[in-house]
Structure 1
């Protein structure tokens, strides 16, 4: 009887279980925005309080949901939340959703200078975002030039069209940290004529932090950070996609071509890109073709990423190869035509042969040039642990730089240095506690620089070890978002005695050991630790969804770079003899930022003001003798000695972007950037007065305005064509570092540009190409930028046409075509 009862009970139990299981239903679907699959979209079932996120292909799934009526919410930072009611009855239910991206960039998500992906509106630190679409619509010869045109407050020191060194609010060189996909860029960036070794066609987005970011990155982020983010594929599984880009620029005949391919298979994403660019000398109406400004550049990159439930891992490599001529500005005193160096011993810079006209438009690279190679291999991974995650980045880089400056022995490098760097970065995002998001991190690098078979040695062979640890946290209190943290750094730099001598066969310099009979100790041994304490505290007050106020105070830190403490020799590419100072202390700054941002129905308004006080500021100054005459150590080359003092920079950026809701085809964008740099060296000020009052390399007041008309629909084969007109208005720069003729007054100027473009569609509605036509400097204005180093390439006290130095590029017409594959 008992067995019979047990049997009945078992049958009833199994029947109930089967009935319950039969009611468990799967809900699946895909989330897109404008037809493009979207990753990391939050999907929540309200009544059950269950939530998931979309994967790399935009797919999501809920398993074992009971039948019933539900409300599903789709949300993510930067998108308009969408609610969808659904009645779940079938065993497998499908729900696909297309969500709308918010127009305001206040809701854009940034990853630079924060502990984890953060809405732009929640970051108290000024951060600007530049998209590939914006970069494509401008004329650029390198990536930094594109960022300068798109982000107020960012400028660049240039040496011809292929060398642009970024400055943020008047600070540059090692004070601006450049990142590639989160990995700090290390490539002899201390030099004037060293550009950024990155493929401009391979970057889909740039994020710019304007202000000290030492808290997250350590030394070299005193002025800010530029993070160049490469393209990451995000489309349907099993497809091969890509693009082919072709660009021609009329001024220097630049021809650029780039092909990129991407493939997604299940959890894996693959990408590949190859690029080539070549150009002859550029032209302006004063100098005609500027000898020594041709270049040839090649880039290659590849990556593979896997996404799993435990997180993701991405491995990538890049290769950069650039042949770039070295301009020196020598020319005939009467005709002002450019001349070339043909001798080593006995060279007279004012008595050289004139460069033939046919060579000025040749794509051949002349014997006096730089050859820069940069190799990068890295892995970035994330491991998820429930409500926390561990992020790890490790990367190896090698920079090979050769500068050939001997016309009689063209294969002999004047400078030949190899820089090897191993970067590491470990961050742990702790579980949220009481609404606080916090991160612990440690990062740094190992670095070694070695000179090879060269004749000039501006810096010693050195070793560097960098380590820093930080804590960062943020929390929201209703309308107020607060974030901040603290960091401690240590940098160790050392080198052994470095001796030079003379090669008896060539008469050039060479590295020798201490036992050589003509050994001269150029760099005595050095061993020192630098320590830095940095941090920040800021808040964002959301007065409303469309109006907010930001305030931030940050202390930055920067250890002196190798040239500032160790240089003692000629840098052939810069035509400068640098003299360092081994007693320099680290730089520290304290910067205050206040910003007001409004996103109105018909306009976006932003005002950011800053004040930056720097201790131990290091800068270049020409070296003169007791009579005030320039000191010449190497004939035909300037001599600069580094100085250190207190400094202050202050200024503002204003943006007013008008886009009437009733006139969606019209946009009118305006920006203003203003910065003043004051030298606080009291001894110099008392002795020299106004000549020493200001800092070098401070950009003048600049205003940019653009009016753009964009069709809101397809017209025949043309998909949303646009036409735009813009102007750049630069004021006189009469606040310059005049001591020892380091800098001079620069006249203001206005440049006018215009462009048009459109997507081209086939009869089936498929986009077959995008076309961009842009003309910069329409009226062929002769001008000199205050941050143009070529302005000071002059060897005569007077000239027949009253012009001194080399002028910037003249009119330039660009044709760009992007063909999807």
Structure 2
């Protein structure tokens, strides 16, 4: 015993000694992050090589404790700010490092969250991603959010049905191939139709991120062409304050009047937001058609959110409501005067012998009896739980889309189409601890969906149920000047429906849903049950030649299951004036896309060149249906008939941008972009039989060039803070590469649109911002034009016209006045 005790004391002494020594070798790194002297919350600070990261609190403070003494490289990053690297030696018990963050103008160092496994610098992502800020949106004339994105990001276009419906296309691919997200939650409405827009309040969006290329790896089906993530406002200011803004906008062409009130409040760990928006407009006009009957709308939006931030992470719960009354144009008119006519009969209606619309109704804000009523409800929670050096992200959301299309003038309260779509979305992502410099994520996401027809007369699609599930693994690693990322994903989607019978209502004479035992019951949709499987993935790298020059390359395989209208449709969509015919045997689409880009951020210019090649298997597209004699098949009088086709396809093209900002002329910016895409139908049998008429794909945008010169004062001129004036042009080439088979599309002449605008922030004598003012004029010279992606171009019921103009033209000159008053 006497010999053991000295050994025990020796061991204890050594433990105490080494513990004291170890304790002496660790320290604390802390500091504060600000921007323009304001504290910044949720700035991510990472110590390279230690796999440690923290975020700033509401007051902008952060702390690492304890960490070993030594020299480190610290990275500060956040969405909307330029990333910042700082070297520091932690050589004492407490080291202070304060940092000032600079707002990003979508530079290489901007941080994005869309299409990546976790917040990532733009420069590190090999996938082409573009960012559009609210500032850029405010400085243009927009009637909806997608229109703003189209104007601001090369390679993005839109199929339109009047001023309030814009469906995004990315590099020639659209419909369900472009996945739209709201705050990371996939947008689920009745988005399969041409005339179905995106149910989002444009005034509540602070930023849009666009992935150009397959993003199925992260999101599963429907991201074959890319992703548009619309990110709402997240308040970040002093605790205990209530702030907000009032936005007002008037546009002269269609008399659009819009107003929006936003509120934000922060108390302790909680953040609250609220927004209410209203918009109304009568029919738009151009110098060929005058006022285009049936293009007015009235839209309301409400949204609210509550977020709590704690040491364990954060949790945000939000709710949104969208309500839109939108007229349905059909393009019917008098054959001689070309004045628009309107339908007043159901039975016995002659589309070429309708009464002319009175002049006073063309400029009326009263929604006409033939209209759509779209309502969209969204409720979701997104949370992050910090687990040491890893974190778990959970997103759960519920949505309901209600769509009514009223097309019966003799029974205006009877909906032709009435569908209710309920969707439950789930998304779980686990960001694993960094291992050997590898950042990786494992995720599972999908949705449960059900669509039901209500008291309607037309049934273009069956009642269906859908279940979607997919799992993925994504990883990235930096090797010196090379950043590598990639991953793999597997998906399964089940879609099914029961027998769906339609009969005739004896009182109204219209169609109605009936059961199998009803007299005259017709089986319009035989039962269906099928599983679709998809394997997708990507691999790419970014080579940082220098801090300002890099090369990106990416190879991605995307997947998309056929949507409900492509496999199940068999009836009239009243709002589109189209009878759709689907095909139950369609296979999923798969594409293989190669991207390569060269990007340079120089002292006086930003230059980018992006090239892509996209081969698609089982590509699904619309084609007009004709009989054996080549005449259009008419199932419902006054409505076109389209049948879906499937074949191989190839799309290739490029985007170039040169943005000049001379360092010696800081008041001058000159931005230029070019986007070009060709879509080829690779159905060799069809092309050999019909030649050039079947060579190209439908809905492919032509070559387009955008150019803007902007002059901005660099200081305050009286009450005007940094006033600007700008001039821009959008030039579209002829589209002679179109799908002409069965007159599905026709040649579209090129055109040029010239726009001008000015604006400024008005400040008080104390230097406080009072008002932001924007005045913009689009189509200054009132050019008459037709976009090849404008569906109204094909709303024509005659073989010739007295003025030689066929179909409906796009909007003419439009002067916009917009003010935003913060408080």
- Shorter-chain TM-score bucket reads over 0.9
Provide the C-alpha distance between the structure 1 equivalents of 2:474 and 2:218, rounded to a whole number of angstroms: 8
Which residue of structure 2 lines up, in the alignment, with residue 349 of structure 1?
A: 351
Provide the C-alpha distance between the structure 1 equivalents of 2:497 and 2:785, rounded to a whole number of angstroms: 44
Which residue of structure 1 lines up, in the alignment, with residue 543 of structure 2?
A: 541
Q: CA deviation at 1:94?
A: 8.7
Of residues 315, 324, 327, the one that matches 1:322 is 324
Provide the C-alpha distance between the structure 2 equivalents of 1:50 and 1:571, rounded to a whole number of angstroms: 55
Q: CA deviation at 1:76?
A: 6.5
Q: CA deviation at 1:51?
A: 7.4
Alpha carbons of structure 1 residues 72 and 374: separation in structure 2 relative to 1, 3 Å: closer
Cα displacement string for residues 213-266 of structure 1 (whole angstroms, at most 9, x for unaligned residues): 000000000000000000000111111111100000000000000000001111
SS of 1:187 mapped into structure 2? coil
SS of 1:146 mapped into structure 2? helix
Alpha carbons of structure 1 residues 616 and 410: separation in structure 2 relative to 1, 3 Å: same
Alpha carbons of structure 1 residues 354 and 102: separation in structure 2 relative to 1, 3 Å: closer
SS of 2:545 mapped into structure 1? strand
Provide the C-alpha distance between the structure 2 equivalents of 1:717 and 1:590, rounded to a whole number of angstroms: 55
Provide the C-alpha distance between the structure 1 equivalents of 2:74 and 2:466, rounded to a whole number of angstroms: 54
Provide the C-alpha distance between the structure 1 equivalents of 2:181 and 2:554, rounded to a whole number of angstroms: 23
Provide the C-alpha distance between the structure 1 equivalents of 2:778 and 2:261, rounded to a whole number of angstroms: 26
Q: Which runs of 5+ in 2 are unaligned?
A: 1-22
Alpha carbons of structure 1 residues 362 and 121: separation in structure 2 relative to 1, 3 Å: same
Alpha carbons of structure 1 residues 335 and 466: separation in structure 2 relative to 1, 3 Å: same
Cα displacement string for residues 608-643 of structure 1 (whole angstroms, at most 9, x for unaligned residues): 000000000000000000110000000000000000
Alpha carbons of structure 1 residues 622 and 61: separation in structure 2 relative to 1, 3 Å: same
Cα displacement string for residues 357-408 of structure 1 (whole angstroms, at most 9, x for unaligned residues): 0010010000000000000000001111111111100000000000000000
Cα displacement string for residues 704-746 of structure 1 (whole angstroms, at most 9, x for unaligned residues): 0000000111111000000000000000000000000000000
Which residue of structure 2 lines up, in the alignment, with residue 703 of structure 1?
A: 705
Cα displacement string for residues 58-92 of structure 1 (whole angstroms, at most 9, x for unaligned residues): 2335779999x99999676886787999999x999
Which residue of structure 2 lines up, in the alignment, with residue 14 of structure 1?
A: none
Provide the C-alpha distance between the structure 1 equivalents of 2:153 and 2:486, rounded to a whole number of angstroms: 25
Which residue of structure 1 lines up, in the alignment, with residue 148 of structure 2?
A: 146
Which residue of structure 2 lines up, in the alignment, with residue 13 of structure 1?
A: none
Provide the C-alpha distance between the structure 2 equivalents of 1:314 and 1:594, rounded to a whole number of angstroms: 37
Provide the C-alpha distance between the structure 2 equivalents of 1:96 and 1:680, rounded to a whole number of angstroms: 59
Structural mapping, 1:282-681, within 5 Å: 282-681=284-683
Which residue of structure 2 lines up, in the alignment, with residue 748 of structure 1?
A: 750
Which residue of structure 1 lines up, in the alignment, with residue 193 of structure 2?
A: 191
SS of 1:121 mapped into structure 2? helix
Provide the C-alpha distance between the structure 2 equivalents of 1:110 and 1:87, rounded to a whole number of angstroms: 29
Q: CA deviation at 1:683?
A: 1.4
Provide the C-alpha distance between the structure 2 equivalents of 1:81 and 1:807, rounded to a whole number of angstroms: 46
Which residue of structure 2 lines up, in the alignment, with residue 181 of structure 1?
A: 183
Provide the C-alpha distance between the structure 2 equivalents of 1:70 and 1:525, rounded to a whole number of angstroms: 64
Alpha carbons of structure 1 residues 474 and 515: separation in structure 2 relative to 1, 3 Å: same
Q: Is the 8 A contact 2:58 2:239 kept in 1?
A: no
Q: Is the 8 A contact 1:659 1:666 kept in 2?
A: yes
Q: CA deviation at 1:32?
A: 1.2
TM-score, L = length of structure 2:
0.94
Q: Is the 8 A contact 1:343 1:407 kept in 2?
A: yes
Provide the C-alpha distance between the structure 1 equivalents of 2:77 and 2:574, rounded to a whole number of angstroms: 56
TM-score, L = length of structure 1:
0.94
Cα displacement string for residues 283-340 of structure 1 (whole angstroms, at most 9, x for unaligned residues): 1000000000000000000000111111111000000000000000000001000000
Q: Is the 8 A contact 1:78 1:119 kept in 2?
A: no
Cα displacement string for residues 745-791 of structure 1 (whole angstroms, at most 9, x for unaligned residues): 00000000000000000111100010000000000000000000000
Structural mapping, 1:68-87, within 5 Å: none
Which residue of structure 2 lines up, in the alignment, with residue 7 of structure 1?
A: none
Q: CA deviation at 1:37?
A: 2.8
Provide the C-alpha distance between the structure 1 equivalents of 2:459 and 2:53, rounded to a whole number of angstroms: 61
Provide the C-alpha distance between the structure 1 equivalents of 2:324 and 2:113, rounded to a whole number of angstroms: 30
Provide the C-alpha distance between the structure 1 equivalents of 2:491 and 2:633, rounded to a whole number of angstroms: 38
Q: CA deviation at 1:351?
A: 0.3
Provide the C-alpha distance between the structure 2 equivalents of 1:454 and 1:774, rounded to a whole number of angstroms: 43
Aligned length: 806
SS of 2:585 mapped into structure 1? coil
Alpha carbons of structure 1 residues 155 and 35: separation in structure 2 relative to 1, 3 Å: same
Q: Is the 8 A contact 1:77 1:107 kept in 2?
A: no
Q: CA deviation at 1:30?
A: 3.6
Which residue of structure 2 lines up, in the alignment, with residue 9 of structure 1?
A: none
Which residue of structure 2 lines up, in the alignment, with residue 264 of structure 1?
A: 266
Q: Is the 8 A contact 1:447 1:463 kept in 2?
A: yes
Q: CA deviation at 1:35?
A: 3.2
Of residues 791, 804, 816, the one that matches 1:814 is 816
SS of 1:105 mapped into structure 2? coil
Provide the C-alpha distance between the structure 2 equivalents of 1:753 and 1:61, rounded to a whole number of angstroms: 50
Provide the C-alpha distance between the structure 1 equivalents of 2:169 and 2:105, rounded to a whole number of angstroms: 29
Provide the C-alpha distance between the structure 1 equivalents of 2:225 and 2:47, rounded to a whole number of angstroms: 45
SS of 2:135 mapped into structure 1? helix
Of residues 774, 778, 785, the one that matches 2:776 is 774
Aligned-residue RMSD, C-alpha: 2.9
Provide the C-alpha distance between the structure 2 equivalents of 1:645 and 1:77, rounded to a whole number of angstroms: 41
Q: CA deviation at 1:49?
A: 12
SS of 1:238 mapped into structure 2? coil
Q: Which runs of 5+ in 1 are unaligned?
A: 1-20
Q: CA deviation at 1:93?
A: 10
Q: CA deviation at 1:112?
A: 0.4
Provide the C-alpha distance between the structure 1 equivalents of 2:352 and 2:278, rounded to a whole number of angstroms: 36
Provide the C-alpha distance between the structure 2 equivalents of 1:99 and 1:569, rounded to a whole number of angstroms: 56
SS of 2:409 mapped into structure 1? coil
Provide the C-alpha distance between the structure 2 equivalents of 1:418 and 1:723, rounded to a whole number of angstroms: 46
Q: Is the 8 A contact 2:542 2:551 kept in 1?
A: yes
Q: Is the 8 A contact 1:78 1:107 kept in 2?
A: no
SS of 1:174 mapped into structure 2? helix
